[in-house]
Amino acid sequence: MINHYLDIAPEVMDALKKGQPVVALESTIISHGMPYPQNAETALRVEQQVRAGGAVPATAAIIGGRLKAGLSPKEIDYLGEMGAKIAKASRRDLPALLARGQDGATTVASTMIIARLAGIAVFATGGIGGVHRGAAQTMDISADLQELARTNVAVVCAGAKSILDLELTLEYLETHGVPVLGYQTDEFPAFYSRHSGLPVDFQVEETDEIARMMKAKWSLGLEGGLIVANPIPEAFAMHSESINIAISRAIAEAEAKGVKGKNLTPFLLAKIEALTEGKSLESNIQLVLNNAGLAARLAADFAGLGSKVGPPVEKRG
């Protein structure tokens, strides 16, 4: 398959052709996650964590109307310095950004799309989007969930962002046949916290078993992703009661100010950071680093099975 909109970094392309492990990474955390230069520095730390685990990082983005699977340090710094001036790009935004030659920071959904086009099977992020609180009235449901239902990528995350309705998020995933695997846990993690009180579908102790599940799922033609729910390390987890108080206050302020749609999650995360005096941001960084290391090991195990989700997509000259 040839796609004229996709650029795969040479290091990433070389690894894919050789059947070596590659881990996709998102870029919303760079442009919309924290201030510059901390955002760019964190992105490079996450890439280094992937390398330390024996895989090649492929940070995704849209730059100049091109889908990117793998960024240079200069490109990462550009996304960080531009910050929120870079559009937050989900599935619906890709046609406009590509046609107009614009830039975009990729969400979980759009990163999954780029990973699938490039032939990358494993993606590490912080937390997936999901069903927002009050969705019965607002119908605010993240496009991440639909992407997980249709796109063959395993997503390593610390559960769903705890600003969401976690119970409804899991119900939605179950309806669409997305397996939720708990890495060494039987409980769905709640992003900043290790505990939600909600069960995962299957507890899995080792990454090689997850890799075999990936292969079995896609070999059967069961389209869609898998969630590998990896709890935040205990040392960086926040107390459930304190973080829930901050979340409730942030949600109330968002409602009072009429913040909605794609602006809601960045607003809530920034407000929670302020309310927790920066503790939530440090937890966010640490859980992403933790997920990157696990994703690298999973990618290595999946590559060891000789499995692929599709060939690398080469650009026609």
pLDDT at 310: 61
Q: What is the tally of structural domains in the chain? A: 1
Examine residue 28 and state whether it is found in any structural domain, yes or no.
Answer: yes
Question: What is the 3-state secondary structure of 180-209?
Answer: EEEECCCECCECCECCCCCECCEEECCHHH
- Which structure tokens are listed for 30? 């760079």
Is 17 labeled as catalytic in the residue annotation? no
What are the φ/ψ torsions at residue 155 (nearest 5 degrees)? -110, 115
| pLDDT score for 106 | 98
**Domain presence at residue 1:** no
Q: What is the residue range of 102's domain? A: 6-304
- Tens digit of each residue's pLDDT (9 = 90 or more) over 125-168: 999 999 988 877 778 899 999 999 999 999 999 999 888 899 99
Q: Look at residue 188 and tell me if it is in a domain.
A: yes
* CATH code of the domain covering residue 84: 3.40.1790.10
**Residue of 26, 47, 75, 147 with catalytic role:** 26
For the whole prediction, is pTM greater than 0.85? yes
Three-state secondary-structure class, residue 72: coil
Decide if 280 is inside a domain. Answer: yes
Residue 246 within any structural domain of the chain: yes
From residue 215, give the alpha-carbon distance in Å to each of 56, 64, 169, 306.
20, 35, 25, 10
- Catalytic residue, from 68, 88, 161, 279: name it: 161
Task: Give domain status of residue 315, yes or no.
Answer: no
Percent of the chain with pLDDT over 70: 97
Given a cut of 70, the residues of the chain with pLDDT beneath it are 1-2, 310-317
Residue 215 falls in the annotated catalytic set: no
- Residue 312 in domain: no
Answer whether residue 291 is part of any domain: yes
